[in-house]
A = this chain, B = another copy of it.
């Protein structure tokens, strides 16, 4: 769908009732679980089923997340926009926005960014992005995440 960052890729991620904690909201840690779900779904579409980047191997080196609004369980999936914000030889940053699907509302619940390091599980060593992987990420590149709380 169109946005200020251009054509954004978006994944529908189903919630579970158990994502809520004793406060009755989706727990802050579970947001990271939803982002994991979004990556698993999104990377299959970006990189293909046969040679999944997740199977090949990619390690999470870093997460940063800001919570903007409380989210309660609902039956409809949540939308997670995903785009690349940095692409280097052997790692890249993936940005996300967790928000209502367009048909449901316009609340933005969280912004986040994950640094992923390429890894070969077969060889047990870091590896470099292939040309195809780099081109795929380039086609999903977007603006930096406008974090509000990060200290400079």
Contact = CB atoms under 8 A, between A and B. Distances in A.
A149 B36 CA distance: 20
B21 A29 contact: no
A22 interface: yes
Nearest to A39: B17
Interface residues of A, number: 38
Interface in A52-70: 54, 59-67
Given A17-B21, A150-B150, 16 more contacts: A16-B16, A17-B36, A17-B54, A18-B27, A21-B21, A28-B36, A28-B60, A29-B32, A29-B33, A44-B75, A61-B66, A61-B67, A61-B149, A62-B64, A62-B150, A152-B152
